[in-house]
Amino acid sequence: MQNFALTLSSKIISSYMRSEPLHVESAHGYEITLYDENRVLIYGEEVEDIALEQGFYTDRNFEYFIDLSPQLHHGVKYLILKSKKTDKEILKLLQEILFVALFSVALIAVVGYFLSKMFLKPIQNERVKLDKFIKDSTHELNTPITAILMSIERLKKESIDEKILKRVDISAKRVQKIYSDLTYLLLENQHQEIKQLDIKKTVENELSLYEDLALKKSISIHKELQESSFSMDEISAQRLFGNLISNAIKYNKHGGEIKLKLTADKFSITNSGKGIAKEQQSRIFERFYRANEHEGGFGVGLDIVKRVCQRYKIDIEIESQESGLTKVVLKF
């Protein structure tokens, strides 16, 4: 603005020196006002509420520059430049900036999406292959497991060494549990009926499946089971209590003990195993994580327990000390 004002002042002085009439050219973006020494308007529109002193001035909508360089040539003492940058123009500028910013974000998002698809596609393909392998494997396992269990029931009627028969029976049940867990995870318990279940009966049924395994490790089982009912699907209930009982036996010491207690709104199971280190307790519900590498399993049992509890809003707590008791509590 200052440079433009000086240029205008020079033209006024020059035209006066050449005895030419006063001529003011319009300027893009500015309004020009000329006053004489008595603030009588010579050219342009009146400018109010502004001091006629050399320098810059601003108000809410405009910027001004006052120049005294004409020095009364053509009678002009005050040359005032007024900017035409109104609120609408400022708003338009902000809209343009916002549009550019949004376009940039959208472009980055699109590019990021296609890059992520490109890099993640091989991983996705491998995951699909793994899922297919597991589904096919569990499907193929079902037939031999059923055949083994049926054969064991028939062999029990024959005169066969009881120890050998029990060893085969326990091994078959272990394979059956692995199959059941994998099937539950893969099918995600689809289309199961939710009904009021007898929790005491469910716990006793699941406990009966693992009594032989407990007997093999000389583990004594103490139970205090009251009547209790809860609304959930039967398969989830079996996987919930079955995995807790299985783990209590699997990770127990030889000759140890297990205590089961059921009230109307709470179930707890305590085992006398090696305990779980404090730093591991926050991770034992992660899928495939195993706190004890010396025992079998795939690390999916407690992940299933956590998923069932989350689905049915059952609170689960764990208390454990290394080389001490481990207690899991469910609150319905």
- The count of domains in the chain is 3
**In which domain, by residue range, is 124 found?**
86-190
Give yes or no: residues 182 and 158 share one domain.
yes
Task: Tell me the pLDDT tens digit for each residue of 69-103.
Answer: 888 888 888 888 888 655 556 667 778 888 888 88
Cα(204)–Cα(241) distance, integer angstroms = 10
> How confident is the prediction along the chain (332 residues), in pLDDT tens digits per residue?
788 888 888 888 888 888 888 888 777 778 888 989 888 888 888 887 777 888 888 777 778 888 888 888 888 888 888 886 555 566 677 788 888 888 888 888 888 877 777 777 777 776 676 666 566 666 556 666 676 777 777 777 776 667 767 767 767 777 777 777 777 766 655 567 889 999 999 999 889 888 878 888 899 999 999 999 999 988 889 889 988 998 888 888 889 999 999 999 999 999 987 778 777 777 777 776 666 655 555 567 788 889 889 989 999 998 887 777 889 999 99
Measured CA to CA in angstroms, residue 168 lies from 158, 243, 250, 267 at distances of: 14, 20, 17, 31
Amino acid at 223: K
Last residue of one domain, picked from the residues 56, 85, 114: 85
Phi, psi of 301 (to 5 degrees): -60, -50
Give yes or no: residues 55 and 92 share one domain.
no
Give yes or no: residues 309 and 217 share one domain.
yes
Measured CA to CA in angstroms, residue 292 lies from 69, 250, 281, 297 at distances of: 92, 10, 12, 10
Task: Tell me the pLDDT tens digit for each residue of 27-36.
Answer: 777 888 898 9
3-state class (DSSP) for residue 319: strand
Give yes or no: residues 100 and 213 share one domain.
no
Give yes or no: residues 261 and 290 share one domain.
yes
pLDDT of residue 104: 87
Last residue of one domain, picked from the residues 66, 85, 104: 85
Give yes or no: residues 198 and 226 share one domain.
yes
DSSP summary character for residue 313? T
Task: Tell me the pLDDT tens digit for each residue of 218-240.
Answer: 999 999 999 999 999 888 898 89
Whether 308 and 299 have beta carbons less than 8 Å apart is answered as no
pLDDT of residue 12: 87
- Across the chain, where does the E strand assignment appear? 30-35, 41-43, 55-58, 63-67, 78-83, 194-198, 220-225, 229-233, 257-262, 266-271, 315-320, 326-331
- Kindly state the greatest CA–CA separation across the chain: 138
Give yes or no: residues 225 and 284 share one domain.
yes
Last residue of one domain, picked from the residues 158, 190, 222: 190
Give yes or no: residues 100 and 196 share one domain.
no
Q: Listing from the earlier edge strand, what are the strands of the sheet with 55-58?
A: 41-43, 30-35, 78-83, 63-67, 55-58
Cα(190)–Cα(304) distance, integer angstroms = 14
Residue 268's nearest CA partner among 322, 326, 196 is 326
